[in-house]
Amino acid sequence: MADPPLGEDCFAAGNVRGGMIAAGASTTTVAFILVVMRIFTRVHIVKRSLGVDDYLIIASMMMSLAFLATGFKMIDLGVASHFWQVKASDYDPGFLIYGTCTTMTYSLTVILAKLSLLFLYLRLSPDRTFRIMVVSLIGIVIAYSVSYQLLSLFGCRPVYASWDAEALKTATCVDKETVYMVLSIANIIMDVIILVLPMRIVIPLQMARRQKASVILLFATGAFVCAAAIKRIIILPPLLTTPDYSWDVAEQFNWSFLEANAGIVCASVPGLKPFFVRYLPSFISSRITGSASHNTAKKSLPYSTVIENNKRRRNMQSESYELQSQDDASDRDSAGLVRADDGGKQSKV
């Protein structure tokens, strides 16, 4: 597609395909394992039917696999190699077509993971203000997703110019640098809000400090998603103007793989406590309860009581859920998220 810099052999510089393959395969594998564990926990340990959040995380995982597949196809077409090593026949139209596909599958992976986590939040508390905030954020995330997909597909006029290099020369396109910067910043803002939202219901709870810290850290895994998104936005501006796009975009792919799959991991972790309670009880005991377990009964007010009081005050009929730590061996099959029914009894989620 281009001549190499003066004095440099066309193929002497090698490529960075190995790093990109490793980043994509490793992060996607970890996410896939955790999703399988989550579904197994929900169906076989907790013995409840799948919820909306479960189906959304499955859809997110499917998009992640599609993102990985299209990313690997991009490697075959020249990504992770210098632009002067890319064949013209591979670049147009294959490179451009699959580039659009990777953008869309990446976006859908991230958005579906966000929605899964937000629908999980709806089960955490009957607090009206909290639920309004979550539902509003769900609407914002969906609107963001629609905008991202439409701009990816219809960002040029004529539309096919996005994947036709010849048509692109005379096409009228949106300012991609500005658009993607705005969308990336909006994505980070949503990540931060999703990260801090649970603190509103966790911090006021009357529970042992160590138990509360464990719950906060559980949701704070989303910080990895924020970090990856911030790194992506830092390297985005020079990427949009680089003359060696096929080489430089490999780093963007690496961070995109990390961000997308970290979002899936973040959305899956809260539902895995029953799995570890059953198969790794010593891990749960040492990490969550520790030496403070003997004080929990004295210092912690059962959250089910708080939920029931809230339900009576608000006359709500929706499901409510409890975050709690179980130490008794007889409770090893109980979930980290426990639903409080109208009779005040606890049933597994």
Q: Are 308 and 301 in contact (CB under 8 A)?
A: no
> What is the residue-wise DSSP string for 218-263?
HHGGGHHHHHHHHHHHHHHHHHHH-S-HHHHHHHHHHHHHHHHHHH
Global pTM reads: 0.79
Does any domain span residue 263?
yes
Check residue 14 and give its pLDDT.
78
Spell out the residues 6+ positions from residue 252 whose beta carbon is closer than 8 angstroms to its own.
232, 235, 236, 239
Does any domain span residue 180?
yes
Q: pLDDT category, 283, cuts 50, 70, 90?
A: low
Does any domain span residue 249?
yes
Choice among 62-71, 221-230, 283-292 with the minimum mean pLDDT = 283-292
pLDDT in tens, 178-221: 898 999 999 999 999 998 888 888 777 777 777 767 777 776 77
Q: Could you give the CA distance from residue 348 to residue 339 in angstroms, rounded to a whole number?
A: 6
- Residue 221 sits at the vertex; the CA angle it makes with 217 and 223, to the nearest 5 degrees, is 110
Does any domain span residue 319?
no
Does any domain span residue 301?
no
Q: Could you give the CA distance from residue 85 to residue 250 in angstroms, rounded to a whole number?
A: 14
Q: pLDDT category, 322, cuts 50, 70, 90?
A: very low
Does any domain span residue 87?
yes
pLDDT in tens, 176-186: 888 989 999 99
Q: For all residues of the chain together, what is the average pLDDT?
A: 81
Does any domain span residue 12?
no
Q: Could you give the CA distance from residue 95 to residue 324 in angstroms, rounded to a whole number?
A: 50
Judged on CB neighbours under 10 Å (0-12, 13-18, 19+), 146 is exposed
What is the percent of the chain where pLDDT is above 70?
A: 75
Number of domains in the chain: 1
Query: Tell me, what CATH number does 95's domain have?
Result: 1.20.1070
Is 290 a residue whose pLDDT tops 80? no
342 vs 107, more confident: 107
Radius of gyration of the chain (CA): 23
Structural domain that includes position 48: 17-203+222-272
Q: Could you give the CA distance from residue 340 to residue 349 in angstroms, rounded to a whole number?
A: 10
Does any domain span residue 189?
yes
